[in-house]
Structure 1
Amino acid sequence: MTFRITVVCTGNICRSPMAEFVLRERIDEAGLADQVVINSAGTTTWEEGNPADPRTISALQRHGHTGDYSGHRARVFDRRSFADDDLVLVADHEHYAVLRRLAAVPEAQDKIRMLRSFDPSGPKGGALSIDDPWFGDDSSFDRTYAEVAAAADGVVDFVRKQLASAD
């Protein structure tokens, strides 16, 4: 079984690629890279085709990540992805609402989760959004990174359990 995850934010240049890169690294460290595919997308066409925001890359590098992020190009989430994805992680409540409307059936809606819901020590309920760092400075991107990183191990644990139950 291949477990497929898509991380979604607004333009697919800040929050979702950051989460994609962090999750891909954590999945690899967990020894699950051959069973999990992670990508990202946006809810709008505003940034389609653009690379990840340089401030996203800088934040990753400040936190010790050394991957090659040059291949990322922003894309828009396609409702047909629900058929292939096992988990769709969203950055904020607006993305959650947009994707719930796009999901044609309850089974697709059930795949949508707030990324921060996987942070065991994080906020609950209405405080699960990851603020868009776009209008901020380096500290905004560092805050986004901290929120993504805090949820990453919970996502890995969830995926590990899903893969085990599929065997």
Structure 2
Amino acid sequence: MCWGNICRSPMAEFVAKKIFADEGLDARVTSAGVSDEEHGGPMDSRAKSVLTSHGYPCSGHNAHQIDESEIMSADLVIAAEPRHLQMMKQMAPDADNLRLIRDYDPNCDPGTSLPDPWFGSTDGFQDTLDAIESAMPGIVDEVRSLA
């Protein structure tokens, strides 16, 4: 879950899909944004380039906005930033499945945001990928605990 569903959240989606498959986890993974401004759009080409260069398959993405029913039907919804958590809590006040991605990284302080690479260079997308990968062991553990 990020702002427009074209950079951070699809990157996390495709990383999770590959890692879950490698770990033998049977989990459905999707991504979305809290905004509808990019609805129907593709993943940012810089994000796709960084993912592809690291061996993550990443085709067929179309941005969409999350809604209350999607939040409530998920076992786990992971956000890029605390403000995204707040926005989802407004959409779905009873949701108890909302988490922050960097909270799964033991080297981060609680409440740390996933870097938004949108305004920067390709290096920023690499930094974002590194942060996502650092959180994945904790996410894998959480998904296993839900199974």
Q: Secondary structure at the match of 1:89?
A: strand
Query: In 2, are the aligned partners of 1:51 and 1:70 still within 8 Å (CA)?
Result: no
Query: In 2, are the aligned partners of 1:26 and 1:153 still within 8 Å (CA)?
Result: no
Q: Does 1:131 align with 2:131?
A: no
Q: Secondary structure at the match of 1:38?
A: coil
Q: Partners in 2 of 1:94 and 1:57 — Cα distance?
A: 25
**Equivalent of residue 102 in structure 1, options 91, 102, 108:** 91
Q: CA RMSD in A?
A: 1.1
Q: Partners in 1 of 2:59 and 2:85 — Cα distance?
A: 28
AA partner of residue 92 (structure 1) = E
Higher strand share: 1
Correspondence list, 1:1-167, <5 A: 8-33=1-26, 36-65=27-56, 67=57, 69-105=58-94, 108=95, 110-121=96-107, 123-126=108-111, 128-163=112-147
Equivalent residue for 1:3?
none
Q: Secondary structure at the match of 1:152?
A: helix
Q: Secondary structure at the match of 2:31?
A: strand
Which contiguous aligned blocks of 4+ residues in structure 1 show a shift greater than 6 angstroms?
none
Q: Taking structure 1 as the reference length, what is the TM-score of the superposition?
A: 0.84
How far residue 97 of structure 1 moved from its aligned partner, in angstroms, is 1.1
Q: Partners in 1 of 2:10 and 2:25 — Cα distance?
A: 19
Q: Partners in 1 of 2:35 and 2:135 — Cα distance?
A: 24
Q: Partners in 2 of 1:83 and 1:124 — Cα distance?
A: 27
How far residue 98 of structure 1 moved from its aligned partner, in angstroms, is 0.6
Q: Partners in 2 of 1:61 and 1:82 — Cα distance?
A: 29
Q: Structure 1 unaligned runs (5+)?
A: 1-7
Q: Structure 2 unaligned runs (5+)?
A: none
